Each structure stands twice: as structure tokens, then as C-alpha cells.
Amino acid sequence: MYKHEKKQRIYEQFARVSKALAAPARLELLDLLVQGERSVDELATEGELSIANTSQHLQVLHGARLVDSRRAGQRIYYRLAGESVERLLQALRHTAEAELAELDQVARDYLDGRDDFEPIERAELVRRLRTGSAILIDVRPRREYEAGHIEGARSVPLGELEAFARRAPKRRTVVAYCRGPYCVFALDAVKMLRRRGIDAVRSEDGVSEWRLAGLPVAAGAAEERAP
């Protein structure tokens, strides 16, 4: 019995992680932190939570060693504790997609137009980027692009899409990506670009999916380049 109790202590440590993940708000906070470091205030705004509630969720995640923090003046900033957390989130999503039939309908209700805009496959996107037959645009906020982006992508936040569309070449496919398969930014971008007569498709991959697939990512400010 004593030996079994020791074994149970191992599972107790596993349970610390699973308990920390057992709240939709905390999963969303982790998903936001995949995009880069954020302050408590910024996370509260993005997650539509009070600062107090956000802090409580972050403390639970910190207690399970899923996030790290640092203080800068009066602000506290959080980031993922490491790549293992990123892989855990991806594994959780893949398991839910494989085992929960209702997830597809829930996602369809949120991602309006998903069925009308089939995503480009990863291998095909890699091929087109290598041949130069596609332009890849990152439609997330610029600070997320600067924290990490698919190598070769151009930063075109949604607010700058109209200006980009006016000068985008008509003979090359524009591929838009955002925060991953459950982000609406890329869908909105494709809808707008197609209305302007531009051949546009979306990628379900975000930076996290790209990085975990072993494909190159970069960080830093966007360069001013012609389409």
C-alpha cells in the first residue's frame, strides 16, 4: 500500500497540470500567450475579463508552472513557461478534434464562412512560398508579428488590409494567417481581399503550428516591402 501511495503522488503532479487547464478562460489566456508575452491588463482586455479575475487565473497557471512572469515597473508580464506548454495545448486541441464530434459544429457557428474558404494545405503553402507564387501575410496585430512570425510573412494587420489590397499583385495568390485554426482574422482578411478581386486563401496554421512542425519562424519588426 505504501508503495502505491508513492505512485499516486506522481499522478497528483500530473493532476496539477490538468486542474490548471480545466477552465475555458485559462485556456484562452494560454492561447493568447502563445502569440507572445502580455501584461495582465492586456490579457484582461483580450479575454474580456476583469483584471482581478485574470490575475486569479494567471496565478493558477503559474502555480502549475505553465506560465512565467516578470515585473516591469507597476506592470506584471506573463509568458508561456516553455515549448512543452505549447505542445500540450496543441495535443489537447487535436484530442478534442478527434474525439468530440460536437466541436466541429461549435467551431462552424463561430467561424462564419469557414466552409466557403477552404484552407491551403501546409505542404502546398511551403511549395508556393519556395517558388514565389504566393504572398504570405500575417493579419494579427503588429506586436504579435514582432514577437514571432512565419519566416517570409509580411505584417498586414486587418486595419491595414485595405491599403495592402490596393497595391497587391493580381497574379499571385495571397495567403493570410492569424492565430491558428480557431481565429477569425484570416477568414475576415480572405473575404475582404476576394471582394477586391484578389486571389486569396487562408492558412489554418498559426506561428505555433508552423514552429512545432519544425518550419522556420522569425521575430522582429516588419520590413517595408512592395507586394
- Options 30, 176, 178, 189, the catalytic residue: 178
178 is catalytic: yes
- Residue 150 is inside which H or E element, if any? strand 149-150
Residue 43 to residue 46: CA distance in whole angstroms: 5
Q: Tell me, what's the pLDDT at 30?
A: 98
Q: Calculate the average pLDDT of the chain.
A: 93
- What is the value of pTM for the model shown? 0.90
Residue 68 to residue 48: CA distance in whole angstroms: 22
Residue 115 to residue 192: CA distance in whole angstroms: 16
Lowest-confidence pick of 94-108, 182-196, 211-225? 211-225
Domains 2-87 and 113-218 share a fold: no
- Position with higher pLDDT, 221 vs 24: 24
Residue 143 to residue 126: CA distance in whole angstroms: 24
* Class of the CATH-defined domain 113-218: alpha beta
Per-residue pLDDT reduced to its tens digit, 1-11: 578 888 999 99
Domain boundaries defined on the chain: 2-87, 113-218
**Sheet hosting strand 38-39, strand order edge to edge:** 38-39, 75-80, 67-72
The answer to whether residue 129 scores a pLDDT higher than 70 is: yes
Q: Tell me, what's the pLDDT at 170?
A: 80
- Position with higher pLDDT, 131 vs 111: 131
Per-residue pLDDT reduced to its tens digit, 170-214: 889 999 999 999 999 999 999 999 999 999 999 999 999 999 999
Q: Tell me, what's the pLDDT at 115?
A: 66
> What counts of helices (H) and strands (E) characterise the chain?
11, 9
Per-residue pLDDT reduced to its tens digit, 25-65: 999 999 999 999 999 999 999 999 999 999 999 999 999 99
Q: Tell me, what's the pLDDT at 2?
A: 75
What is the CATH T-level fold of the domain 2-87, as seen in this structure?
Answer: Arc Repressor Mutant, subunit A (1.10.10)
Q: Which three cell numbers stand for residue 203?
A: 492558412
